[in-house]
Structure 1
């Protein structure tokens, strides 16, 4: 197949890292792959993930070529406008297979409004068009600040369907949001675990050293529940001796907030590392004894940090919610999605006190992750879904035309005649057997 792979390629983008690995695998499998960068702006100073494939930026590329020069256009969609601002023009230019890395896309939606100079009327109109007239109260509440909680926004207007409706096929990384894609995307939808390329982190427990180290990696925003981990550690004489290391970008105000929490509970071993390069991240994972990959609310389709923890062979603590809740129960340590500090403290104490449990669970988790989260398996899913997408196009084309005519006649989607017509189309376009 001729594949156009749309992705941010910035070194700061974890989606870019995944894309570099998957496109390398697709090319090795004989496909002609080109990468189309979707960062909103083309910054010449931006460091990029390494690739041997042809790379273009969407602002300097003739998007009309997408329909004629490629069999499939795969668009990676994440909740960051600066990384994904180009996807809107690309979705308009060609039928696309959308990979939904995040289930919550309201921030991407807000960025689209802001950078295109669109006001509250367009905000409300898009939400109503996506979720129906009853969603207008939610639209007003969100933009007016009456619904500031991201968990509430995610429940009512995550805007997943807003972009799924613009895709010809869609891929989710967990089952918990697949139904949203299926409700909006006109073509095939599939679910497959996230691809997470293996790192150079030596598997197994770290070398003999002093205090045990609990580690959290990624962007240190409040929904990673780092403050809850600090409170759990600081409230236990057993756990106070542990080091808690934070590895990833952090704002000054969040740093100050977490340092204040540590001082409040008397926890003296908080180490805030900040952003690091890949080599340092490998080292910090090697030094870790326990990985904390918590979220509340869960907004992403999958968690790279949880996958990294499992691949590194470290016992990983996750919430029983969203993608995390779908991980095998015997390979991670799940706590209630509300992140109850006493429960978190009990799990940490259990892990700190049982070296064999840490080692054996980490070993089993790594074996599962190597088998399940690899680029070859992910590339196979892309191939299969793309083939179904391509063969479904005649059915989708006829269905759209007939649907438009039925709608013009005033026939509702729930009318029995619509179901009979859909069933007939399915039979007409069913693949030949034998």
Structure 2
């Protein structure tokens, strides 16, 4: 197949890192693959992920040729407008297979409105078109500032369906949000675990040392619940003896807030690295003893930081919610999704006290992650879904035509005849058994 892979490809994009590994594997499977960058701007000073494949930027590419030049157009969708601005034009240009890295894309939606100069009327209209008239009060509440909690917005207006309905097929990274895709995507929908390539310099086995180091990696925003971890540590003499290291971008305000929490609970061993390069991250993962990868609310389809924790061979603490809740129970340490500090403290104390438990669980988690989260396995899943998408097109075309005719005759979607017609079409267009 000829595949156009639409993705942010800047070196600082984690989706770009996944894309570089997966497209290499798709090419190795015999497909002709080209990468179409979807960042808003094409900054020549921006370093990109290394690849041997052709790379284009959507603003300098004739999108009108996508439909005829490629068998499949794969669009990676995340909740960051500057990284994903080009996906809207691509979705308009060709039938697409959407990979939904986040189940909550309200920020992408908001960025689209802002950058196109659209006002509150378009905001409300898009939400009502996606969720029906009953969603209008939520639309008004969120854009007027009455609804600020991201968890509440995710519950009522994740906007996943807003773009999923424009895709011909879709891929999710966890079961918990697959129904949102299945409800609006006309073609096949699949679920496969996120690809998280092993690091070029993977961490070695944990070293016997004191004090132990608890580590959180990724962008340090409030929903990573770092403040809760610090409060859990502050209530335990055993945990206060450990170091807690934060590795990833952090704002000055968030740094000050977390340092204030540490001072409040009397914890002196908080280490904030901020943004680091790959070499430093490799070293910090090697120095870690316990990984903490919490989220509340859970907004992403899967978590690169949790996957990194498992690949590092360290015990990883997660919330029992969303993607995290679907991880194997015996390979991570789950706490309630509400992040109860007392429960978190008990889990951390158990891990600090039991070296055998840390090593055994970490080794098993790494073995599972290497087998499950690799690029070859992910490319196979994309390949299978893309083949299903291509073979489903005749059925979808006939279904759309019949649907228009039946709607014109006044047949309701809930009429039993609709289900019978759908079942008949499935039989007529079923794959021929070899």
User: TM-score normalized by structure 2?
Assistant: 0.99
1:178 deviates by 0.2
Q: Which residue is 1:14 aligned to?
A: 14
Q: Tell me whether 1:74 sits opposite 2:74 in the alignment.
A: yes
Query: Is the contact between residue 204 and residue 363 of structure 1 (CA under 8 Å) also seen in structure 2?
Result: no
In structure 1, what is the Cα distance between the partners aligned to 2:196 and 2:295? 19
Q: Who is 1:250 aligned against?
A: 250
| Structure 2 equivalent of residue 269 of structure 1 | 269
- Distance in 1 between residues matched to 2:205 and 2:377, nearest whole Å: 27
Mapped contact 2:203–2:282 kept (Cα < 8 A): no
Quickly say closer, same or farther: Cα 1:201–1:360, change in 2 above 3 A.
farther
Listed one character per residue, the Cα deviations across residues 361-403 of structure 1 (whole Å, up to 9, x for unaligned) are: 0000000000000011000001100000000001111111111
- Say whether 1:371 aligns with 2:364: no
Partner of 2:395: 395
Q: Distance in 2 between matches of 1:275 and 1:256?
A: 16
Task: Give the equivalent residue in structure 1 for 2:25.
Answer: 25
Q: Measured at CA, do residues 202 and 431 of structure 1 come closer, stay the same or move farther in structure 2, by a change above 3 Å?
A: closer
Q: Give the 3-state SS of the residue equivalent to 1:48 in structure 2.
A: coil
> What is the match of residue 215 of structure 1?
215
Aligned match of 1:168: 168
Distance between the aligned counterparts of 1:279 and 1:35, measured in 2?
26
- How far apart are 1:417 and its partner, in Å? 1.9
Give the distance between the partners of 1:246 and 1:424, measured in 2 at CA: 57
Report the 3-state secondary structure (helix = DSSP H, G, I; strand = E; otherwise coil) of the residue aligned with 1:272.
strand
1:321 aligns with 2:312: no
RMSD of equivalent CA atoms:
0.9
CA contact (8 A) 2:206 2:359 kept: no
Q: Which runs of 4+ in 1 moved over 6 A?
A: none
Residues 203 and 283, structure 2, Cα contact 8 Å, conserved in 1: no
Give distance in 2, aligned partners of 1:205 and 1:77.
Answer: 35
- For 2:398 and 2:286, the matched residues in 1 are separated by 55
CA contact (8 A) 2:212 2:352 kept: yes
Give a deviation string over 1:180-216, Cα, whole Å, max 9, x none. Answer: 0000101000000000000144445433333100000
State the match for 1:308 in structure 2.
Answer: 308
Distance in 1 between residues matched to 2:353 and 2:402, nearest whole Å: 65
Structure 1 segment 21-60 matched on structure 2, within 5 A: 21-60=21-60
* Equivalent residue number for residue 294 of structure 1: 294
Q: For structure 1, which runs of at least 5 residues remain unmatched after alignment? A: none
In 2, distance between residues paired with 1:211 and 1:408? 72
Distance across 1 between alignment mates of 2:51 and 2:209: 37
CA contact (8 A) 1:331 1:362 kept: yes
**Equivalent-residue separation in structure 1 for 2:113 and 2:400 (angstroms):** 28
Q: Is the 8 A contact 1:201 1:286 kept in 2?
A: no
Whether 1:138 and 2:132 are equivalent positions in the alignment is no
Partner of 1:411: 411
Shift, 1:432, TM fit: 1.6
Asked if the contact 1:205–1:289 (Cα under 8 Å) also holds between the matched residues in 2, the reply is no
How far apart, in 1, do the equivalents of 2:384 and 2:202 lie? 33
**Partner residue, 2:381:** 381
Query: What residue is the counterpart of 1:148 in the other structure?
Result: 148
Structural mapping, 1:272-287, within 5 Å:
272-287=272-287
- Which has the higher mean CA deviation after the structures are superposed, 322-331 or 397-406? 397-406
Residue by residue, what CA displacement relative to the aligned partner does 1:280-318 show, whole Å, maximum 9, x if unpaired?
Answer: 111100000000000000000000000000001000000
Tell me, what secondary structure is at the counterpart of 2:215?
Answer: strand
Q: What is the rounded CA distance, in whole Å, between the counterparts of 1:43 and 1:116 in structure 2?
A: 20
C-alpha contact 1:3 1:72 (8 A) present in aligned 2: yes
Alignment match, 1:352: 352
Unaligned stretches of 5+ residues in structure 2 = none
Instruction: Tell me the secondary structure at the aligned position of residue 314 of structure 1.
Output: coil
Q: Distance in 1 between matches of 2:221 and 2:409?
A: 51
2:183 maps to 183
Cα distance change of structure 1 residues 391 and 202 upon mapping to structure 2, 3 Å threshold: closer
Compute the displacement of 1:406 (Å).
Answer: 1.9
How far apart are the structure 1 equivalents of 2:225 and 2:178? 26
* Number of the residue aligned with 1:225: 225
The equivalent residue for 1:96 is 96
CA distance in 2, matches of 1:21, 1:171: 17
**3-state DSSP class of the match of 1:381?**
helix
